[in-house]
Amino acid sequence: MKTIHKIAAGAFAMSALSGAASAQATATGTGAGSVTVVQPITISAGTGLAFGRISKPATAGTVTVDIGGGQTLGGGASKVGAQTTTAASFIVTGDGAQTFSISPDATFSMTTTASGGTAITVSTVASASSGSLGGTTGTTGTAPFTVGGTMSLAAAQVAGAYSGTFHVVVAYN
């Protein structure tokens, strides 16, 4: 009798082990059922950020293009002739009525192929740190925003055409 008792106890222990394994698989399946699916957020770039035509400065200066595309000159910077300046423009598309954050690169460089040219550093400013998509939840909404910037010209800045790229990340809040 004593011997049979011991064997039964061993069988219970085995059963408890396999029960633990099956409980783990069940928990995983339940979690997947409560996810809300929204449209992915996308962003497309429109116009670029254009600072215009600036005379090679005698002393260091700055050129600012605001979020509306307006140009302001500082220090030794002076413009040359009629200016075509634009803020960079973007359109965000995603699930209607959602809000999102806007994060441009804080700074980036513009470079030139002109001989002896050194990079121009640009600091950016977005029209807002967050935006709100139009429309209602479940439909597609869009929202525009712009990015301006300030470029720093050195006194010894080499004349030439300068260009650079920067990134903007948008994310659902």
Partner 1 sequence: MGLSLKFIVAAALGLAGPAMAQTVGSTATATAVATASVIQPISVTKTTDLAFGSFVRPATGANTVTISSTTGARSLTGGGNAALANSTTSRAAFTVGGEGAQTFSIALPPTVNMTRSGGTETLPVTLSASGPSGALNGSVGGNGTATFGVGGTLPLTSTVVGGSYSGAFDVTVGYN
Q: Which residues sit at the interface with partner 1, rule CB under 8 A?
A: 21, 24-25, 28, 32, 35, 38-45, 48-58, 63, 80-82, 88, 90, 92, 108, 110, 112, 114, 120, 122, 147, 149, 151, 153, 157-172
Q: What are the tokens at 18?
A: 């396999």
**Identity at 27, one-letter amino acid code:** A
Least Cβ distance, residue 127 to partner 1 (angstroms): 13
Least separation in angstroms between residue 109's CB and partner 1 is 9
Closest CB to partner 1 among 3 and 34?
34
- Nearest approach, Cβ of residue 1 and partner 1 (Å): 32
Determine contact, residues 77/129, Cβ cutoff 8 Å. Answer: no
- Both tokens assigned to 42: 């996308």
Q: What is the DSSP secondary structure assignment for residue 67, as one 8-state letter? A: T
Tokens of 109: 């460089």
Residue with Cβ nearer partner 1 (106 or 161): 161
Pick the closer one to partner 1 by CB: 121 or 135: 121
61, 115, 164 from 150: Cα distances, Å: 10, 24, 13
